[in-house]
């Protein structure tokens, strides 16, 4: 009698959920998703949680396939030799194959005082710490947001629209990933919201204190609450487990998302570095990489050669409060086009994407690998039923691009 193949997915974000759902194509595969929280975090809405306009969490039952077992726990170490995931509470889970999808979070700030006095917001717990700090400050108290990327821009706009006195210290360039036209649209909207934007060579933060932010140009800004959005990092789980990583700590893989150390381990999302050239950390890449990591596992179970990864970008979108936004079109390789949509239309497109991604996860849960608008001409693989790990199965088609950051 053939036993089921055990697949453990570490991390329950966008990539991990998509991978887990896609793996249910075979009913002889048992999927366990290990995640430190019992609910799904809509990370692209964390700035709204801070601003009080959205909770940014969902029940996993809304987005996870019924056959996926959810194990709430923190992974302390991956024992690749023993094919075991060791949990922080002393428990363990064995696996035949593992999907590494631990995502990303706030990078450790190297600026003096930032770790002690600034509030990062790369994850849910950080956003939850920031919200009461804002509530405790007077409505007129100065709030400084450090970081001119998408997260910094969205956070500054959300807080300003809520009536806060916000300064955005953008560093050398505001919105460096945007086309200059879109950048000007962002700057105009922030100005209308009352956000003071500081950028250029003298707008680099050199120190943070309890009540101020110091800049490279010598200025010192009063700051009752300092929000830190400058940069993202990844958990050190792979490095702690003795697996090969890139300089940032992402799991180093080949072009099929397979670890260079172990063909039983594949990676997906922000924590993957295929051939040392990772894709931009984004939900947009994660919802494509998750199914492709699952496809690599399913191909190996079918005795077939895994296909190389393929990710196509469509756009970057960001909200500028609840009534405006920017939808920046990109080429497939993520380079920006000169075309963008702003204003209320941009806000509507951003909200459409934010609502659409949980729908995409839920749809994958109900119909894993189904053909959709982004995969015309690709046939949905038939589920394999009870024929053992070595049974043949057509590899699932990769998920298509969902526009977004």
Instruction: List the one residue out of 320, 291, 287 whose CA is nearest residue 306.
Output: 291
Can you name the residues that pair with 384 across neighbouring β-strands? Answer: 26
Cβ-in-10-Å burial (0-12, 13-18, 19+) of 91 comes to exposed
For residue 403, what pLDDT is reported?
A: 53
Phi, psi of 208, deg, nearest 5: -130, 135
- What would the pLDDT profile of 128-181 be if each residue is shown by its tens digit? 999 999 999 999 999 999 999 999 999 999 999 999 999 999 999 999 999 999
For residue 370, what pLDDT is reported?
A: 79
Distances (CA, A) of 17 to 238, 294, 303, 335, 359: 19, 10, 24, 27, 12
- Which residues contact residue 282 at a Cβ distance below 8 angstroms, ignoring those fewer than 6 apart? 270, 404, 405
For residue 1, what pLDDT is reported?
A: 43
3-class SS string, 271-304: HEEECCCCCCCCHHHHHHHHHHHHHHHHHHHCCC
For residue 2, what pLDDT is reported?
A: 63
For residue 398, what pLDDT is reported?
A: 38
Provide the H-helix boundaries in 218-376.
237-240, 283-301, 343-366
For residue 372, what pLDDT is reported?
A: 46
For residue 394, what pLDDT is reported?
A: 32
Quote the CA–CA distance of 13 and 16 in Å, as a whole number: 5
- Tell me the three state secondary structure of residue 67: coil
Distances (CA, A) of 203 to 150, 173, 209: 17, 9, 16
For residue 405, what pLDDT is reported?
A: 66
Rg (CA), the chain: 22
Residues in the chain with pLDDT values less than 70? 1-2, 371-405
Q: How many Cα neighbours within 13 Å face the side chain of 96?
A: 15
């Amino acid at each position: 009698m053939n036993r089921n193949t055990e697949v453990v997915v570490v991390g329950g974000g966008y990539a991990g959920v998509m991978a887990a759902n896609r793996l249910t194509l075979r009913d002889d595969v048992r999927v366990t998703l290990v995640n430190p929280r019992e609910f799904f975090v809509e990370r692209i809405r964390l700035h709204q949680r801070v601003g009080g306009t959205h909770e940014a969490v969902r029940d996993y039952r809304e987005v996870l396939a019924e056959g996926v077992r959810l194990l709430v726990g923190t992974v302390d170490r991956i024992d690749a030799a023993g094919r075991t995931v060791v949990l922080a509470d002393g428990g363990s889970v064995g696996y035949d194959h593992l999907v590494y999808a631990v995502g990303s979070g706030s990078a450790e700030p190297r600026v003096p005082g930032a770790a002690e006095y600034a509030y990062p917001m790369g994850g849910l717990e950080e956003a939850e710490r920031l919200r009461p700090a804002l509530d405790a400050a007077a409505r007129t108290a100065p709030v400084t947001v450090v970081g001119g990327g998408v997260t910094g821009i969205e956070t500054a706009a959300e807080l300003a629209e809520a009536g806060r006195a916000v300064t955005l210290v953008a560093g050398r360039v505001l919105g460096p990933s945007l086309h200059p036209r879109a950048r000007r649209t962002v700057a105009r909207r922030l100005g209308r919201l009352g956000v003071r934007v500081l950028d250029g060579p003298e707008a680099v933060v050199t120190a943070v204190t309890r009540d101020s932010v110091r800049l490279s140009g010598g200025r010192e800004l009063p700051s009752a609450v300092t929000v830190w959005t400058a940069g993202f990092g990844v958990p050190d789980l792979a490095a702690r487990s003795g697996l090969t990583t890139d300089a940032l700590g992402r799991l180093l893989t080949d072009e099929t998302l397979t670890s260079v150390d172990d063909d039983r381990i594949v990676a997906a999302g922000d924590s993957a570095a295929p051939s040392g050239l990772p894709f931009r950390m984004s939900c947009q890449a994660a919802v494509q990489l998750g199914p492709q990591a699952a496809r690599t596992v399913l191909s190996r179970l079918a005795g077939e050669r895994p296909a190389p990864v393929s990710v196509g970008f469509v756009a970057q979108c960001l909200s500028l409060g609840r009534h405006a936004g920017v939808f920046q079109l990109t080429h497939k390789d993520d380079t920006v086009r000169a075309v963008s949509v702003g204003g209320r239309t941009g806000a509507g497109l951003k909200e459409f994407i934010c609502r659409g991604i949980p729908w995409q996860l839920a749809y994958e849960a109900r119909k894993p690998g189904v053909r959709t608008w982004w995969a015309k001409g690709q046939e949905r693989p038939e589920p394999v039923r009870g024929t053992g790990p070595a049974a043949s199965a057509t590899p699932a088609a990769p998920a298509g691009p969902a526009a977004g950051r």
